[in-house]
Structure 1
Amino acid sequence: MNEILDEAYARLHGSGPEWGDELSNHGPMAAEVLVRRGHADLVPTWLDHYIRRLDELPAPTERLTDATWQSALSDFGRIADWVQYFTEELHSHPWREVLAVWWPRLLPGIAAGATHGVIRVSHALRTLLAGDESEPAIVELAHGLAWWAARSIGVPVADPAGSLDSFAALESVPRIPIQQGFLATRLGRLGSEFTTALAAMRPAADPDDAQRRLTDLVAAATRKYLTHGHASPVLLVHIATAPNAVLHSLPALPRELWAPSLTSAWAASAALIAMYAPVDGAPRDTLPEAPNVADPVAEVLARAAENGDEHVIKFTDTAVEVYGRTEDPDVLAAAVRIRGLLGG
């Protein structure tokens, strides 16, 4: 299976992280999920179709150094320079050391690529943490970090200081008055009411508690998609997959970075809700149920792989993880819901 994933990475590394009108390249992330979830046999054919839409990664223009990288932060025109920089860094230093340096530098820009930067990094880290430290896997981490750096954009952040659990905190997120325009435009409409809501979440007592809080946030956001995802079926996927990306990155990070990671992941998830989700969700009795079969997890994973949409694949992966921890059938129903919203 590692060989299939490494081959997929190698095929994709000639492509840029975005294509068309700033659409995201989900190829490496979806391939990683398919392999990890037992559908590696589908990857070569899936990739044959997917890769046709992608744009070529441009040639580097000017070499980045430790003294010049700050001037290139948030400059997508330097994406190839960032790929080159991180590839060189990861060839010169252990990947955990590079990550420990760059994670806190990039965390303030967690909304990069509508959170796809941190998500791609996380999928690369899952591969590395599983023991595949091959050249393609290392270069995949370089591509993820490069995307995060080149599209770095922040969201308003406030340290949790209240008493609300994750579910109640998500329910308390106010909506921006006009849910229209590009991501950056909507981010500019997040004001003091939003940061007040961020602060209402209960803070983590220690790194382990930060991990628990993040786990709860992923569960609450996955359930939220069931009732609210219809308002923006693609963007609202990331209310769950972005914090889940951060959650999966924690084992690769120094523990002192766990609480700040929770703060940023919470801000990103809440911002997407504020910018794209309706106040009122769809009535529960109008929505699908979890599959009524002997193995509903295998069923939703198989249907997601069959569907083939990259967002369906990634969201279902998160929903299945949450179900494994909570046995909440609504999170599997959310996996059924996204297939209906995105074509099947």
Structure 2
Amino acid sequence: MVTVLKSIYPDPSAGERLPSLIADVGRHSGEFPVLLANHLPMVLEAMGRLGASPARLEEYAEHYTRIHAVPFPPSPVTLIDETNWESALGKREHEGDLRRFFAGVVAEIGGHETIRRYLPRLFPGIAASATHGLMRLAYAVLRNDDAEIAVALGYWAATYLPYDAIPAENHRDVSDPLAPILQMHADARLRDVDAPTYLLWKWIEAMGKLPAFQGYLGRLAPTPDLLDRMRPASLTLFAATMSFEALHAVTGCHWLRLVSPHLDEPQRLAMHFWEVVMALYPKIGMPALPSPEVLDRWRAVPVPPDDVIAAAAVASNDEHDHSLVFSAFEEFRYTGDPLYKVVAARRVGLVEFGD
């Protein structure tokens, strides 16, 4: 069942069209060739909430599915049940099997209880499909969409990617998420790391095998305020770089906020997510972070009205524009930090600012 709240869509007819449209595109796999995340079910919802018309939603769905040749999940491989589902973790060929397993669980106990019961086992593998398993789950929760919750959990499980090589001597005694970032900035061993492929999740995987980086794993503590600390750190990193990688840190904090109420220990999920952000920091060159004074100057940059920013995002065919602008607007509503609107406007080419 999907709860449709028409008031949240600037075009109410978009709210009427989205359930069937997302159900249709949601039948496709969580990834498309070659091993790239399928954003479509999520960004259609974001576009609708940013003001897209039903015609624009349908046009974009057709465009995205066609140009990316988004496939359907693989054919059944084996029966997955309560006794063996964990043996399929990280095995993409079992995406269809895992979807069916979680669909059965959701039908029995409901989507939110399924998240509470099963997601903790998936916490360490949050790097799944470069954190897009988390994205799909967050949007499923946002929509109160049990069918998408099952799909998201199956997708996350099939692409599960943990950090296993954490030194035994490391202790989770660091409470500030920026502390390891600052330490990494000064670590020459992490400069000029070679990228294994263009795939974000392959970079994340490769970083976990790098001894110099392993020393930073397993040190961040799951404090109750961890997500609140991560949020401004992510925004600072993105504002400083406007990079593809840091964009995912900002949107990821929004996704974590959506999922957290359905977990007993959401700070543990946030802890694992931040280790992924740390892994991506060398990929963007480990830049120095801006001072508070510079950040305040950026906050004061005039931006167009929300509807102008939203319209620019809706008109774009780049799924990261829809994702970033929607998450930035939502995080602004939660925090009141005007820098979210500045980076949203900058992402879609409406403002510029320097140092």
Shorter-chain TM-score: which interval? 0.7 to 0.9
Q: Which one of 93, 96, 100 corresponds to residue 80 of structure 1? A: 96
| Aligned residue type for 1:264 | H
| Residues 1:102 and 2:110 aligned together | no
| Residues 1:304 and 2:313 aligned together | yes
Measured in 1, the distance between the counterparts of 2:96 and 2:65 equals 19
Instruction: Calculate percent identity across the aligned residue pairs.
Output: 24
Measured in 2, the distance between the counterparts of 1:339 and 1:117 equals 25
Give 1:320's aligned residue.
329
Alpha carbons 2:184, 2:286 under 8 Å: kept = no
Alpha carbons 2:237, 2:289 under 8 Å: kept = no
Gapped runs of 5+ residues in structure 2?
1-5, 7-14, 351-355
Measured in 2, the distance between the counterparts of 1:320 and 1:189 equals 32
Q: Which one of 35, 40, 50 corresponds to residue 27 of structure 1? A: 40
Alpha carbons 1:109, 1:154 under 8 Å: kept = yes
Measured in 1, the distance between the counterparts of 2:193 and 2:72 equals 35
Please state whether the residue corresponding to 1:161 is helix, strand or coil. Answer: coil
Q: Which one of 266, 271, 274 corresponds to residue 279 of structure 2? A: 271
| Aligned residue type for 1:51 | T
Please state whether the residue corresponding to 1:55 is helix, strand or coil. Answer: coil
RMSD across aligned positions (CA): 3.1
Alpha carbons 2:90, 2:157 under 8 Å: kept = yes
Compute the displacement of 1:167 (Å).
Answer: 4.6
| Residues 1:223 and 2:223 aligned together | no
User: Structure 1 length normalisation: TM-score?
Assistant: 0.80
Measured in 1, the distance between the counterparts of 2:310 and 2:241 equals 22
Q: Alpha carbons of 1:228 and 1:24: their partners in 2 closer, same or farther (altered >3 Å)?
A: same
182-191 or 15-24: bigger deviation: 182-191
| Aligned residue type for 1:331 | Y
Measured in 1, the distance between the counterparts of 2:344 and 2:184 equals 23
Count of residue pairs brought into register by the alignment: 318
| Aligned residue type for 1:103 | L
Please state whether the residue corresponding to 2:286 is helix, strand or coil. Answer: coil
61-70 or 218-227: bigger deviation: 218-227
Equivalent residue runs for 1:153-302 within 5 Å: 153-155=161-163, 160-162=172-174, 164=176, 166-167=177-178, 170-174=181-185, 175=190, 177-182=192-197, 183-184=201-202, 186-190=204-208, 194=213, 197=216, 204=223, 210=224, 212-230=225-243, 233=244, 235-254=245-264, 257-274=265-282, 276-280=283-287, 292-293=302-303, 295=305, 297-302=306-311
Q: Alpha carbons of 1:169 and 1:334: their partners in 2 closer, same or farther (altered >3 Å)?
A: farther
Compute the displacement of 1:289 (Å).
Answer: 8.1
Alpha carbons 1:24, 1:113 under 8 Å: kept = yes
Gapped runs of 5+ residues in structure 1?
129-136, 205-209
Compute the displacement of 1:4 (Å).
Answer: 2.0
Measured in 2, the distance between the counterparts of 1:263 and 1:10 equals 32
User: Structure 2 length normalisation: TM-score?
Assistant: 0.78
Once the two structures are superposed, residues 189-248 of structure 1 have per-residue CA deviations (whole angstroms, 9 ceiling, x without a partner) of 3456546556675752xxxxx2x4313312321231122234xx2x43212222321221
Alpha carbons 2:222, 2:268 under 8 Å: kept = no
Q: Alpha carbons of 1:300 and 1:196: their partners in 2 closer, same or farther (altered >3 Å)?
A: farther
